[in-house]
Amino acid sequence: MVDGAAQVLTVTSSPVTQGPWSGDACSLVEAFRSGDITPTEALELSLAAIESSDLNAVVNVDEEGARAAAASADVDLPFGGVPIGIKELDPVLGWPRTEASLVFKDRVSDFDGTMIARLKGAGAVPVGQTTASEFGGINLTYTRLHGATHNPWCHGRTPGGSSGGSAAAVAGGLLPIATGGDGGGSIRIPAGFTGLFGLKATFGRIPKGPHTEIEPLTAVLGCLSRSVRDVARWFDVCNGADEYDPFSLPRVEGWEAGLGTHDLTGKRVVVSPDLGSAFVSSAVVERVEEAAAALIADAGLVRVDVPVKVPRGGLEWAMAGTASLLVGLEDLYPACEQDLTPEIMFACNIATRHFDIGIAKAVEQYRRDCIQAMAGVFDQVDFVIAATNPDVAFDAKGPLPTVLDGVDLAKEHGFDVALGNQGALTIPANTTGNPAAAIPAGTVDGLPVSMQVIARHHAEPLLLDLALTMERERPWPLLAPTAPR
């Protein structure tokens, strides 16, 4: 157990003359308040880093707006003066609202999302949009609109998706923190591929309004960050009910203040790297088992042997999301097909030509089975530890890999299982609404590996303290080795 909030890891930065801020967002606010650096100076360093970067992580930079916000920043606010990236799926007043698609390349947002408005109110300085996968539909950030985004740990590898640009920008040293969203793993997958900490909160924790779309009932909002306390502060700022989102949860206070105050001793945990149904590389399983053993020892957890068998549901999840996508495209589809990425086009074709009552029943059956399976496990444990991704980051331009440890999953188990395996570890928590965290767990062949911890609904404070234990006892690098400093 961490004995108290005073023992929360303090993350500092190297001197600002060496490059953009290399600490976390909270330490940058502390530096503003002490006078070591000004918001304007920090912004200019980030703008210069973005300009010289080859990651293709930040697009549509709002230099004028950012400079005005930095010049007038109130550093006494939680994120006062901190330059942040905004995932291009998050609406910002006056910014492009493309959904990362050529279909909407000329559309401009006429409102701020609730999360964005709250961040602005907390003093954050929006700098520009971070790249995402088209409509957030795939864990690969490569679109017809912006091309490929690269992983700062290895140029040519993907940072994942759909929040890939946010992850690349934060791990790559361009911005200290950035927004993310997670409908099937889109915070945890990129965090896992780039060595960051990512939290998918309980469904409804941060409102999705205004103009809330009810479906898909899996998506949540959050951030990509270098430290646990940054995430805690983010939720202090952004959580809380909103009348424009009927599914939003009541506000909870004290996320950052409560860090390190929860007794984890004796909490029960089951370690299931594959959740009983996914295919995970042997090297990743080894790292996850090592990290899990370390966390169990450091936090005083009790490992128990409980059967875990979460049903596969990649195809069902994709069909449910594509139905919502088709509603958004309205009468633009199918004429816009040539503007879509191949994966989105394929999903739309399947949904329009083959979506019938049978598929609808299969989607609902998967949802029920997944909820039943997860609830059954949490009747017996407090946490489930699994891998975040089946393997390390793959090619930045795709395609999604279907071979693992030399086994052709498509040939052995079918093409739908092979493709669905890329999100098989993260989709379940979205389907059930449980909170889940991606925690850095070492490397394989020089690329990050991530351990995923899933908890009961509304138990994010315990997840944060588990992650804090790892951060304190076994610190992870805040930046990719190639990031500017």
Active site members: 87, 162, 186
Residue 130: beta bridge partners? Answer: 58, 87
Residue 126: beta bridge partners? Answer: 84
CA count, 13 A, side-chain hemisphere, 479: 22
For the residues of 27-72, what is the DSSP string, one character each? HHHHHHHHTSS-HHHHHHHHHHHHHH-SS--EES--HHHHHHHHHT
Measured distance CA(432)–CA(374) in Å, rounded? 7
Angle, alpha carbons 77-83-85 (nearest 5°): 120
Measured distance CA(304)–CA(133) in Å, rounded? 38
User: How far lies 381's CA from each of 156, 245, 435, 436, in Å?
Assistant: 40, 32, 14, 14
CA count, 13 A, side-chain hemisphere, 195: 24
CA count, 13 A, side-chain hemisphere, 128: 23
Residue with tokens 């990050």: 448
